[in-house]
Structure 1
């Protein structure tokens, strides 16, 4: 662990940096750059633009767009006037979008360029760069600032409420281990509607480094001038396969995903890229544990400002980054138990101070009297070079009760040959899938995580028999 970083600010983070590092570059979007002074001015102007459109303190503002600079301005301007900001996946089908927006009683919606709009009782916002003026709201770090929908991988998405203090503590804990300072730059390489993308913005605000927006030129081009990026393994693999890593300034990568191939991290290290991995969740504002990738199965040590314990095999967490609760139109619903712990439903153990995750309690099913953890089967299948992603779900079976079926995202578009032989010495007979299916396109639009619930519904519609 490096130096413990304090998340304490006495004013808005961008105001602090505009006073201390006025002319340093803070933000880059393609060829356009902003200094910290300009960032601070822009946020105030956009905040005034929101006020002029009737946005009030505690109003809920929704942004629906792919990653873009406007989404960053909107989030920070919303927080600046004391409103609550939520970004939603722009690929969400309109019916579900309606449900999500209604569930948080949104007052205003901003739609990005080319985004299909939906109508309702809310006001359609514009991003107006209004004349600079005084904005009344003061810095109150514990106020509700953002709403982030969980992936809904096992049920309906929930709106997770965080304060600026939650986000800054999340960032401070991670950056106490993974070095990122004023000389560094972090690419917004993951969606801002997901907690892992949102966390990049708050690490930037904490550190005073540079935030870099993605362009239409592609990931390799976007990485050319940045030192840090949050990636999934397939993205890193493509970068290494390009043979152009020598052109990059990339120093550190924070990897997400259930399985990080050891060969991948070794190859990256040879190119001078440090790979970090961890364990986290929306409710904790992103990362809870982290480590340098070392090929071992653990997911790292607990970061500062968090606590973790194992209770009857289940991971419990709490700390300064823990959500204020799940947000509904009726108010905030607490997520913690009476002792302040959030019961994650993740199954795990701590070995030599390092957390090991074994699966999820609510994914487990029983086949012929044996407990089956889909994650174990998924991890084995993900070691196959043709498989990019996989979700294992159960189907009913008269003899065994339930049996596993694997739904694959294959880089060839086909089910790899001889998968039964591939799993034979890696999985017990009762763990081996009775069927392999290719993931349909419509299940791939939900963001970073594929919805296990929707995959299960799709599989249930198929004529699969053991």
Structure 2
């Protein structure tokens, strides 16, 4: 039986792990130009049946960068890209960086209101979306001027040199508990993130990483910079047929459900997968053992947008912890809260066309609660998600972890509802493998009765609404709370 109390969540000791310095590849020019000189004929980018060598890629990026300059794009201007992953988006990202401008990806599934709000917040100079996009036809607000991705009509110089410390990309936070923020990263912080992870997780020059996550999310952007750092291959493939896409690569970033389906329903002998970086949910030991038996190494960890993705990592095992601190990062616990800093920390938040530091302090307070057990970090939940029920501190993430261990639960979110006797009680919003009818609700209630104390057991189980489960990698708790308030 698990009891969630404040004492269990907040350790009084503060532990600071020393950072390990790792940057074994130094770039004196744009990474793709570096690799065009070092490995010109090696395959860099593949999509469908097409492949580009590093030399061809560098030449194409230079042409597109010249075309963007010809269209009026200037140094330090901001380009918003509203599109799913595609090879055009990769060309655009690299070309925008080459001009000295800044790239921000926005979720193409945002509602009109959400997109309008984010564009107003960012004050973008240009926007790009696919030519067949319905964005312009359906937009009820004025969009920034649309860029075109074309070679120049006249060859011209791109008067920008490589400066790794300059602002390069903006990534919107998930906004799971409030208004999304725009996090600014330099090429240096992205490359430091890649270097630290790849110092532990092997990714050779002849390997290929599938761009399996969206570029508007830091986990997707991190794939690009690992590719650029190592000078390996990256594959851009339609993800509707994930088994086919995975048959072409050695590395991928997946959620456990994707890997589970892959191993259950497909001939694994056709896969060339060596390593998978898992995230987004509780990882069953049976899944990682099954993957290991067919030659797939599974990694997991903990990260955030402000730190350019992964902060801690490990080979997946039977522990629910998230591993140890990667090189180029530092982490300490202060009153049970995770604080981080290091080479991967972003430049700050972007607002009013200015980059503002995250805080006046060197360390960044994450609002994540954690503890150390045998030199491994265990994430307990968010400070701002905790609520009180009957005088007890309830951490929703602890309840969610137990729910996700049930074989029929694919996703789980626990939120509080007002209660006259206890103040607040937990309600579970779940996505299940079969219909959430009265029988399954009773089954889940019986399961939780054996696993957790009374105040932590959800008083009701509701099906996750479809319109909130299609927006991106993370689902907004704020939107779930708003939806839940309308159900009572």
Question: 1:156-167 to 2 correspondence within 5 Å?
Answer: 156-167=179-190
Q: String of CA shifts for 1:215-269, please: whole Å, max 9, x gaps.
A: 2651100011200000000110111012311111000000011311111111111
Distance change in 2, residues 1:329/1:458 (3 Å): same
Question: 1:36-75 to 2 correspondence within 5 Å?
Answer: 36-75=54-93
Mapped pair 1:459 → 2:484: yes
Equivalence for 1:116: 134
Equivalence for 1:178: 201
Distance change in 2, residues 1:31/1:314 (3 Å): same
Deviation at 1:413, TM superposition (A): 3.6
Among 251, 263, 284, the alignment partner of 2:307 is 284
- 8 Å CA contact retained: 1:4, 1:176: yes
Equivalence for 1:76: 94
Once residues 3 and 156 of structure 1 are traced to their aligned partners in structure 2, the CA distance between those partners, rounded to angstroms, is 35
Distance change in 2, residues 1:152/1:32 (3 Å): same
Equivalence for 2:3: none
Q: String of CA shifts for 1:92-116, please: whole Å, max 9, x gaps.
A: 0011101101111101000125433
Equivalence for 2:43: 25
Once residues 132 and 173 of structure 2 are traced to their aligned partners in structure 1, the CA distance between those partners, rounded to angstroms, is 25
What runs of 5+ residues in structure 1 fail to find an aligned partner? none
Equivalence for 1:385: 407
Mapped pair 1:239 → 2:255: no
Q: String of CA shifts for 1:130-171, please: whole Å, max 9, x gaps.
A: 365431100000000000001111111111100000100000
Question: Greater helix share, 1 or 2?
Answer: 2
Once residues 419 and 413 of structure 1 are traced to their aligned partners in structure 2, the CA distance between those partners, rounded to angstroms, is 13
Distance change in 2, residues 1:388/1:240 (3 Å): same
Mapped pair 1:248 → 2:271: yes
Distance change in 2, residues 1:413/1:72 (3 Å): farther
Once residues 244 and 135 of structure 1 are traced to their aligned partners in structure 2, the CA distance between those partners, rounded to angstroms, is 48
Equivalence for 1:402: 424
Deviation at 1:354, TM superposition (A): 1.4
Equivalence for 1:346: 368
Question: 1:97-108 to 2 correspondence within 5 Å?
Answer: 97-108=115-126
- 8 Å CA contact retained: 2:255, 2:281: no
Equivalence for 1:200: 223
Once residues 333 and 192 of structure 1 are traced to their aligned partners in structure 2, the CA distance between those partners, rounded to angstroms, is 23
Q: String of CA shifts for 1:111-135, please: whole Å, max 9, x gaps.
A: 1254332452621111113365431
Mapped pair 1:332 → 2:350: no
Mapped pair 1:437 → 2:455: no
Once residues 31 and 168 of structure 2 are traced to their aligned partners in structure 1, the CA distance between those partners, rounded to angstroms, is 14
What is the Cα-based RMSD across aligned positions, in Å?
1.6
Equivalence for 1:125: 147
Once residues 459 and 71 of structure 1 are traced to their aligned partners in structure 2, the CA distance between those partners, rounded to angstroms, is 36
Deviation at 1:425, TM superposition (A): 1.5
Deviation larger for 33-42 or 127-136: 127-136
Distance change in 2, residues 1:366/1:217 (3 Å): closer
Distance change in 2, residues 1:239/1:216 (3 Å): closer
Q: String of CA shifts for 1:281-326, please: whole Å, max 9, x gaps.
A: 0000000000000110110110010000000000000010101011
- Report the 3-state secondary structure (helix = DSSP H, G, I; strand = E; otherwise coil) of the residue aligned with 2:384: coil
- 8 Å CA contact retained: 2:338, 2:370: yes
Distance change in 2, residues 1:103/1:48 (3 Å): same
- Report the 3-state secondary structure (helix = DSSP H, G, I; strand = E; otherwise coil) of the residue aligned with 2:188: helix
- Report the 3-state secondary structure (helix = DSSP H, G, I; strand = E; otherwise coil) of the residue aligned with 2:415: strand
What runs of 5+ residues in structure 2 fail to find an aligned partner? 1-18
Once residues 113 and 236 of structure 1 are traced to their aligned partners in structure 2, the CA distance between those partners, rounded to angstroms, is 33
Mapped pair 1:371 → 2:389: no
Count of residues in Structure 1 that have an aligned counterpart in Structure 2: 462
Once residues 183 and 442 of structure 1 are traced to their aligned partners in structure 2, the CA distance between those partners, rounded to angstroms, is 40
Equivalence for 1:356: 378
Equivalence for 1:93: 111
Once residues 317 and 387 of structure 1 are traced to their aligned partners in structure 2, the CA distance between those partners, rounded to angstroms, is 32
Q: TM-score, length-normalised on structure 1?
A: 0.96
Distance change in 2, residues 1:177/1:216 (3 Å): closer
Deviation at 1:461, TM superposition (A): 1.0
Once residues 121 and 114 of structure 1 are traced to their aligned partners in structure 2, the CA distance between those partners, rounded to angstroms, is 16
Equivalence for 2:295: 272
Equivalence for 1:134: 157
Distance change in 2, residues 1:434/1:308 (3 Å): same
By relative contact order (CA 8 Å, sep 6+), the higher-ranking structure is: 2
Once residues 134 and 244 of structure 1 are traced to their aligned partners in structure 2, the CA distance between those partners, rounded to angstroms, is 50
Once residues 370 and 175 of structure 1 are traced to their aligned partners in structure 2, the CA distance between those partners, rounded to angstroms, is 42
Once residues 189 and 378 of structure 2 are traced to their aligned partners in structure 1, the CA distance between those partners, rounded to angstroms, is 25
